[in-house]
A and B are shown apart, each in its own frame.
Chain A
Amino acid sequence: MKKGYVTMPASIESIAKSNLTSDNSPVANALSRRTSVRRETIIGWLFVLPALVMYAIFVLVPLVMSIRYSFYSWNGIGEMTWVGIKNYITVFKVPNLIGTIGNAFQLVLYFSIFPVGLGLLIASIIHRVAPGQFGEVTRTILFLPQIIPLVAAGIIWGWLLSLSGLVNEILNAIGLGAITRAWLGDFTWALPAVGFIGVWVLLGFCTVLLLTGINKIDPSLYESARIDGATWWEEFTSITVPLLKNEIGVCLTVTITNALAAFDIVYVSTAGGPGNSTAVPGIQIYILAFTQQRIGLASALAVLLMILVVIVVIPIQRLSKESTL
């Protein structure tokens, strides 16, 4: 891409050319060229305008409002009182609030490490032993949880992980009856259980994405490795993983963003409980704003959440993009 082209309408040259044939005076030519350039610019901006207006009103304005609210104490109806950075101090001081960020990071571990790790494993197995129809079926079935509403995933697993649900029934059947419990109601196990739901949802997505990546790798690399009698593990560590850096980066970005911004699954399966053990920022923002009417505090947490996502996502994007250069 030539640099000069970026800021200039592509059609200037052709317009200038047609002007030259109709008018030989250089002054008139320059004038009409300037007006047509300006006309082009205006028309171009008119094309952008509808999208820009919708984006500005429903995303940028609320974003600025969030930042503004975060410096006030407000119950949503009465007077707004300026409190400076007091809301932010409260977020960092109160264990239940700062704890949501800790919970979010724990969810990041479950949501990203397991789907990406297991996804790599499954994708490479499909590539090695089931390149045909069997692999095709596997990939479609594993992808299924990705397209259903997260709310439905939360409801389904809310039932499966309950005291008389399928998970405990299977544990009983294989002789692990001693560890059965209401998983989502247990202070220690609720967060890992929510994490597990995330794994179920995201695994297929990661698998399919990584599989597409593997299929792009030059098959001769695998062929020569197999001629040398490479085991599955050698193939996996020396070819598959290093050459999939880009796809792994994409998977991590998607899964981590999903974990930090989690709301639907948690809201339906545990609503943040028991106690505050599964409360993530999204849930806490909702509770603070819509059941406790503490808009300022909710907004401070919202701003911190947005900053958090940017801080976490940008380095991953950088790293995975660099490796392809």
Chain B
Amino acid sequence: MSAAGLSTKNAPSPMVVLPHYALGTIAFIIASVLLFFAAGDLTASHIGPRVLSIVHILILGWVSMIIFGALYQLIPVVMEIKLYSEGLAYASLVTLAIGTIMMAWGFWESYIAPTVIKHIGGTFLILSMLFFVYNVLMSAKKTTNKTIENKFIVTSAFWLLATVLFGIFILFNVSYGWTNKSSIDLLKVHALMGIVGWFMLLIIGVASTLMPMFFIAHQLNKKYLERSYILVNVGLVAGILLLYFFPNTSWASIFGLPILIGMGMFFKYNLSAYKKRLRKKLDIGMKLSVLAFIVFVASIILGISTLIVSDIYPEFNSRVYLAFGASLLFGFFTILILGQMYKTLPFIVWLQKYQDKVGKFTIPLPSDLYSEKIADAHYYTVIPAIFTLILGLLISQEIVIQIAAIFFVITSLLYAYNTFMIILHKENATPLKKPEFKK
């Protein structure tokens, strides 16, 4: 066999990747349960202590955890190289898990007051992000595959670093008073860097690689992605400067416009992949991914609303911000992860168990490693979950948010069932019977 530069040869050990999926899933269940108990807080303010705790569990424990794991697996696919260091990947996993627990605990207990637990947790997170960023950048250095998708991924790593450093700056600023700006205003800069700079750019890069590949769609216009890259980054830099220096002026939110147009370009690119797809019949992973993009349209609309309401109906500010944030975190990012789990995890385990058995044994397909019925079931529970949550936040009703939380808990448990069914899959191979064949 002559196969230079193939990804399976570059793939890291499954033992690096699988714990990320397991821990991330547990964080998703915890965040869903906490959402139920924090429903009252969510009707009060978009930056209350319990809200911040859930946001950190979701962002760090769920989305970042899965993204770290998936990226360690996908970097070889996207960049056609071997991961720089598996040791660093382990180190980032452990520090991320410890840091997330400490931060979430710290916020749940005591808002943004400087506590030892948050300082130590924050330090763990800094270390985790540094390990991750260094690993990604050193891997990217080796690649000759300089596509626009890779540019998104590498740039997102820089924004991640900036997000963490700025978050720590906020925490220490409370103790040492380096600047007299309020933590609330600084938090907006932190959130912008994290959600748009880190998540959005990364997801644009990864989704724009994977979606056309899974759809089997060719000849797509990458100009949309190039424009999206410029627009989102320009909007980000402008947003950081405006929010830092002119925090309480209504026109400062104008930076959101290029970001939203950039997000729209990314949407258009993936829409054309969907339209040009050869695989008309979508499997559960792609059905969930398409659903994520439908929710993404709601995010863009809510994003535009945040720009408008701050001027016209300032009293609704908090509600729209919460609904926008939830539509991204519990909506687009979460549902995309639910879908892409089915496109990645079964393959990782399948390759580990059956790579050497193809052609010699009767073996299951990757899609046989999980229950399709359970996956279908959480497809139908996550739809009412997210739309009820957005509604509950917009009308600021605790009971509606609690109903959404119940749907999320069910979704997370069903999803966990399948995730662990895949991770704990026992090898099932029987020797192949040769078919009758006349030479």
Q: Do A and B come from one complex?
A: no
Residue ranges of A at the interface with B (Cβ–Cβ < 8 Å): none
